[in-house]
C-alpha cells in the first residue's frame, strides 16, 4: 500500500498520454477532415474503455470477488458492440478509427519500454516536456500552411486519392499492415513495390507542402538520419551515467561493443584494432540500426536503396586506400598493387598483375554495396510480396481464411529479416576489416621471418 | 525470340543457377567448418568469424544475380 503499484501507474500515464495525443491529432485534423477526427476520437474512446474494463476484470479476478462474469458481458456489449456499430456506420473512416484504437497500445508500449530502460528516459521526458510541446507546435506549423492553401487535400490530391485510404489504414494500425502494398504501388508506380512508410502517408495526406515534399523525395536520407539519431540517443542514454557496475542498458551496449571489438580484433590484431575500431564499430552499429529500423511498421530500411550502401562502401574503400598509402608509402602501395614483384617472373607478369589488382580493389566497394543492398532489399521484397498476397485475399473477402496463415508467414519472414540484418551488418564490417588487414603491415609475421632467416643461412 | 521474352525466361534461370553455385559453396564451407569444430571445439570463435566471411563471399554471387535481375526487371514486357 505504501508503494504505488507500477502497473496501475503506467496504465494511467499511458492512457493520459494517448488521450493527449489523440486530442492533439484530432484538433489538427478537425478543420479539413471533421469525420476523420471524430473517428480517431471514437477509436481512442473504444480502446480506453477496453483498458478500463480489462483492469476492472483483472482486479475482480485477482481479488476473488464475484461479478466478473457480468462485467465481461457488459464489456463485450459495450466495447465490441460499440466497435461493430461504429464500423457499420457509413460515415466513419477506417484509417483514423484504427489509428485511434492503436494509440493507447502504442503509448502503453512506449511507456513500458521506458520502464524497462530504467528511470532515465522517463525523467528525461519529464524534464523535456517543453521540448515536446515545441515539437508539437512545430508539427502543427509544418502541416498548417498547405492545409490553408488546399482545404481538402485528400480529395484534390494529385495522385491516387482513393488509394491513400488503405495506405493510411496500413501504417496506423500495426496489426494490419496488409492492405498497404496497393498504396505503395500507387505511389511508386515506376519503382518496385514497397510497404508505405510514414513519409508516404504524410505526403498522401498533405501533398502540397514543400517540407513534406522534400522529405518524401529524400526518404533514404531521412531514414538514415533517423537511424543515426536513434543510435546516438540510445548510446547517450546508456552511457550518460556510466558506472563501474553497469545498469541493464549500459551492460547490453558494452557487451555488444566488446564482442564486436573481439571479433574484429581477432582478425586485425591487438595493435591495429585500437586505432581502427572506431570506424569498424561505427559501420557495424550504424548498419545494424538502419537494417533493424525496417522491421518497425511505418519505417523503412535505408539500406534497401543502393545509394546509401554505395556511400558506405565508398567511405570504407577510401579509408582502406588511405591507410594503405599511409602505412606502405606511395612506393610500397604501388608495389602492393603490382603484386610485389621480386624476381624476373614477377616483373614479367607486371602488365597483367597491375590491372588485375587495380580491378580487384575497385570491385571491393561494388561487391560490398551490392551485397548489403541485395540482401536487405530482397528481404523487404519478400515481405512485400506476402503482404500483397494477403491484401489480395482480403480484397476477395477471404479475411478469416487468409489473415492468420499469411500473417504467420509474414511474421516468420520478419524473424528471418532480423537475422539477415544482424548477419549483413556483421559481414559488411568484417569485410571492411579484412580489406583493411590486407593493406596493413603484418607484425605477427615479422618474428617468424627473422627466425626463419638464420635457419636459411645455416 | 523477343528480347523481353528472353529476359523473362533468362533472369529466373540465371538466379537459380547462381543460387545452385552459392548453395554448393556455402554447403562446402559449412561442412568444413562443422568438421573442424567437431575436431577442435576450442577454435570455435575464430572459425565462426572466418566461416561468416566465407558465407558472405559465397552468398554474394547470388546477390549479384539478384541485383542484375532487379536492374533488368523493368525491361521485361
Q: What is the tens place of the pLDDT at every residue in A28-81?
A: 877 777 788 888 888 888 888 888 888 888 888 787 777 777 888 888 888 777
Please list every residue in chain A whose beta carbon sits closer than 8 Å to the beta carbon of residue B70.
192, 374, 377
What phi, psi does A31 have (nearest 5°)?
-60, -35
Q: Which residue has the cell 558465407?
A: B55
Residues of chain B with a CB closer than 8 angstroms to some CB in chain A: 45-46, 49, 52-53, 55-56, 59-60, 63-64, 66-67, 70, 73
- A399-439 and B44-72 helices, crossing angle to 10°: 110
| Residues A406 and A388 sit within 8 Å (Cβ to Cβ) | no
- The C-alpha atoms of residue A11 and residue A104 are separated, in whole angstroms, by 9
Beta-carbon separation of A431 and B55 below 8 A? no
Return the sign of the alpha-carbon dihedral for residues A13, A19, A22, A25.
negative
**3-class DSSP assignment, residue A179:** coil
Nearest CA in chain A to B75: A190
Domain boundaries, given as residue ranges, for chain A:
1-115, 229-445
Q: What angle do CA A28, A33, A37 make, to 5 degrees?
A: 60
- Set out the domains of chain B in order of their start, with CATH numbers: 12-71 (1.20.20.10)
Shortest distance, CA A306 to any CA of chain B (angstroms): 10
Which pLDDT does position A315 carry in this prediction? 92
Give the minimum alpha-carbon distance from A371 to chain B in angstroms, rounded to a whole number.
Answer: 6
Contacts of B66 in chain A (CB under 8 A): 374, 378
Terminal alpha carbon distance of chain A? 87
Chain B residues within 8 A of A370 when measuring between CB atoms: 60, 63-64, 67
Cell 521484397, residue? A381
pTM, two decimal places: 0.66
DSSP-assigned letters across all residues of A282-327: HHHHHHHHHHHHTTSTT---GGGSHHHHHHHHHHHHHHHHHHHHHH
Q: Which residues of A touch B (CB under 8 A)?
A: 192, 262-263, 266-267, 367, 370-371, 373-375, 377-378, 423, 426-427, 430-431, 434
In Å, how far is A190's CA from the nearest CA of chain B? 9
In the predicted structure, residue A163 carries a pLDDT above the cut 90:
no
Grid cell digits, residue A88? 457499420
Task: Tell me how close the Cα of B21 comes to any Cα of chain A, in angstroms.
Answer: 16
Q: What is the mean pLDDT of residues A200-212?
A: 79
Alpha carbon of B2: minimum distance to chain A alpha carbons (Å)? 23
Tens-digit pLDDT profile for residues A265-296: 888 888 888 888 888 999 999 999 999 888 88
- For residue A23, what pLDDT band results from cuts at 50, 70 and 90? confident
> What is the interface pTM, i.e. ipTM, of the complex?
0.80
Least CB-CB distance to A431: which of B56, B64, B67?
B56
| Phi, psi for A70 (deg, rounded to 5) | -60, -40
Residue-level pLDDT at A57? 83
Residue A182 CA to residue A249 CA, distance in Å, equals 39
Q: Do B67 and A373 touch (CB under 8 A)?
A: yes
Lowest mean pLDDT among A68-77, A124-133, A245-254, A366-375: A124-133
**A280-338 pLDDT tens trace:** 999 999 999 999 888 887 788 888 888 899 999 999 999 999 988 888 888 888 888 88
pLDDT of residue A160: 38
Amino acid at each position: 500500500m505504501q508503494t504505488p503499484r507500477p502497473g496501475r501507474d503506467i496504465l494511467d500515464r499511458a492512457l493520459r498520454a494517448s488521450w493527449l495525443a489523440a486530442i492533439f491529432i484530432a484538433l489538427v485534423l478537425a478543420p479539413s477532415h471533421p469525420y476523420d477526427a471524430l473517428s480517431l476520437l471514437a477509436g481512442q474512446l473504444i480502446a480506453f474503455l477496453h483498458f478500463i474494463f480489462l483492469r476492472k476484470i483483472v482486479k475482480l479476478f485477482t481479488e476473488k470477488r464475484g461479478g466478473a462474469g457480468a462485467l465481461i458481458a457488459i464489456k463485450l456489449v459495450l466495447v465490441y458492440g460499440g466497435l461493430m456499430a461504429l464500423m457499420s456506420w457509413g460515415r466513419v473512416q477506417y484509417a483514423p478509427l484504427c489509428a485511434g484504437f492503436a494509440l493507447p497500445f502504442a503509448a502503453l508500449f512506449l511507456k513500458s519500454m521506458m520502464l524497462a530502460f530504467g528511470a532515465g528516459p522517463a525523467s528525461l521526458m519529464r524534464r523535456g516536456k517543453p521540448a515536446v510541446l515545441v515539437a508539437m507546435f512545430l508539427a502543427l506549423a509544418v502541416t498548417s500552411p498547405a492545409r490553408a492553401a488546399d482545404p481538402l487535400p485528400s480529395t484534390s490530391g494529385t495522385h491516387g486519392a482513393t488509394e491513400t485510404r488503405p495506405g493510411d489504414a496500413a501504417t496506423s494500425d500495426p496489426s494490419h499492415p496488409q492492405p498497404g502494398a496497393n498504396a505503395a504501388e500507387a505511389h511508386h508506380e515506376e519503382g518496385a513495390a514497397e510497404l508505405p512508410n510514414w513519409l508516404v502517408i504524410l505526403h498522401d495526406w498533405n501533398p502540397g507542402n514543400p517540407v513534406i515534399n522534400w522529405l518524401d523525395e529524400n526518404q533514404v536520407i531521412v531514414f538514415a538520419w533517423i537511424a543515426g539519431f536513434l543510435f546516438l540517443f540510445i548510446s547517450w542514454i546508456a552511457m550518460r551515467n556510466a558506472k563501474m557496475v553497469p545498469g541493464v542498458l549500459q551492460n547490453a551496449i558494452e557487451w555488444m561493443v566488446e564482442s564486436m571489438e573481439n571479433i574484429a580484433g581477432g582478425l586485425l590484431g591487438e595493435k591495429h584494432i585500437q586505432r581502427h575500431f572506431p570506424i569498424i564499430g561505427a559501420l557495424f552499429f550504424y548498419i545494424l540500426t538502419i537494417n533493424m529500423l525496417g522491421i518497425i511498421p511505418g519505417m523503412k530500411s535505408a539500406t534497401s536503396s543502393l545509394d546509401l550502401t554505395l556511400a558506405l562502401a565508398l567511405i570504407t574503400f577510401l579509408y582502406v586506400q588511405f591507410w594503405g598509402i599511409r602505412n606502405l608509402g606511395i612506393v610500397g602501395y604501388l608495389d602492393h598493387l603490382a603484386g610485389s614483384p621480386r624476381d624476373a617472373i614477377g616483373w614479367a607478369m607486371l602488365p597483367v598483375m597491375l590491372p588485375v589488382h587495380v580491378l580487384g580493389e575497385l570491385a571491393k566497394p561494388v561487391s560490398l554495396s551490392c551485397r548489403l543492398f541485395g540482401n536487405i532489399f530482397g528481404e523487404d521484397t519478400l515481405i512485400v510480396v506476402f503482404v500483397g498476397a494477403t491484401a489480395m485475399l482480403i480484397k476477395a473477402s477471404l479475411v478469416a481464411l487468409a489473415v492468420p496463415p499469411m500473417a504467420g508467414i509474414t511474421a516468420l519472414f520478419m524473424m528471418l529479416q532480423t537475422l539477415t540484418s544482424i548477419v549483413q551488418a556483421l559481414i559488411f564490417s568484417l569485410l571492411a576489416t579484412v580489406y583493411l588487414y590486407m593493406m596493413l603491415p603484418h607484425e605477427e609475421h615479422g618474428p617468424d621471418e627473422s627466425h626463419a632467416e638464420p635457419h636459411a643461412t645455416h | 525470340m523477343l528480347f523481353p521474352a528472353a529476359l523473362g525466361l533468362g533472369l529466373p534461370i540465371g538466379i537459380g543457377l547462381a543460387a545452385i553455385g552459392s548453395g554448393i559453396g556455402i554447403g562446402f564451407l559449412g561442412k568444413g567448418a562443422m568438421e573442424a569444430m567437431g575436431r577442435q571445439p576450442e577454435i570455435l570463435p575464430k572459425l565462426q568469424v572466418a566461416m561468416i566471411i566465407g558465407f558472405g563471399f559465397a552468398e554474394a554471387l547470388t546477390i549479384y544475380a539478384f541485383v542484375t535481375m532487379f536492374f533488368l526487371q523493368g525491361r521485361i514486357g
